[in-house]
Structure 1
Amino acid sequence: MPTLIRAPTVIPAAGTKPKVIQEFVGRVNSGTEAVSIARMVSPEGWREPGQTPEFDEYTLVLRGSLRVESASGVIDVGPGQAVVVPRGEWVRYSTPTAEGAEYVAVCAPAFAPGLVHRDA
């Protein structure tokens, strides 16, 4: 039987400025451990600590621009573009442009604080 997700749960965000994380599917909102799906809205100048997560992350940018730094370089992801970051790879996300960003992040398995391994 299909399950309607009536509303997301707002999750506290790491980073230098307030960012809104709305989890629709995941460990907190739906009790789903296999995958999480969240809408993110981050302002200009937001930057989170680097991390080496134990999950694959698939990110689709809806508005603005998301910067993705990794050991192999920097990728700026614009509206209608996506980026895939495999588990175990060091990555840092930020929104350095004036419009900030709105994007959807899908993590498999689902995001959990103990799986993200943020830099000190």
Structure 2
Amino acid sequence: MKKYYIQKTPFVVPTTDGKLIEEHHGLVATNNKDISIAHMIAPPNWSEPFQTPEFEEYTYIISGKKQFIIEDETVVLEAGQSIKIKANTRVQYSNPFDSPCEYIAICKPAFDFNKVHREE
């Protein structure tokens, strides 16, 4: 039995907002409940509703910029920067800018749609 696994076919999450989500490791891609790692591209002028996830989320920006509204504070990250957002923190993710934002998102434990608690 190999002591490693190379992910060559990430699970592409179906979206309706133009965002690319490729889960390389996580609940769906590799049945891993402990961590999820996803490559994402948020199109210009994209946003999600506020949410209060039960998991930590780390984001590393590869290119472009991404906006975070964390509780009542607005933070903008640029390429080469990263952030950790603690579990049970109200946050909104968006790309209100004119260029796509490419980034890596890591969730601990793994992203679980039932535990993200998005607002309507």
List alignment gaps of at least 5 residues for structure 2: none
Q: Please state whether the residue corresponding to 1:118 is helix, strand or coil.
A: coil
State the 1:115 CA deviation: 0.7
State the alpha-carbon separation in 1 of the partners of residues 10 and 71 from structure 2.
Answer: 33
State the alpha-carbon separation in 2 of the partners of residues 72 and 48 from structure 1.
Answer: 16
State the alpha-carbon separation in 2 of the partners of residues 72 and 94 from structure 1.
Answer: 14
Paired amino acid for 2:82: A
In percent, how many aligned pairs have the same letter? 35
State the alpha-carbon separation in 2 of the partners of residues 29 and 86 from structure 1.
Answer: 24
- TM-score, length basis structure 1: 0.94
State the 1:70 CA deviation: 1.4
Paired amino acid for 2:98: A
> Which residue of structure 2 aligns with residue 57 of structure 1?
57
State the alpha-carbon separation in 2 of the partners of residues 4 and 71 from structure 1.
Answer: 37
Question: Deviating runs (4+, > 4 A) in structure 1?
Answer: none
State the 1:6 CA deviation: 1.6
1:37 correspondence with 2:37: yes
> Which residue of structure 1 aligns with residue 13 of structure 2?
11
State the alpha-carbon separation in 2 of the partners of residues 63 and 33 from structure 1.
Answer: 28
Q: Please state whether the residue corresponding to 2:114 is helix, strand or coil.
A: helix
State the alpha-carbon separation in 1 of the partners of residues 57 and 5 from structure 2.
Answer: 23
> How many residues of Structure 1 are paired with residues of Structure 2 in the alignment?
118
- TM-score, length basis structure 2: 0.94
State the 1:25 CA deviation: 0.3
List alignment gaps of at least 5 residues for structure 1: none
State the alpha-carbon separation in 2 of the partners of residues 58 and 12 from structure 1.
Answer: 22
State the alpha-carbon separation in 2 of the partners of residues 12 and 118 from structure 1.
Answer: 17
RMSD after superposition = 1.1
> Which residue of structure 1 aligns with residue 116 of structure 2?
116
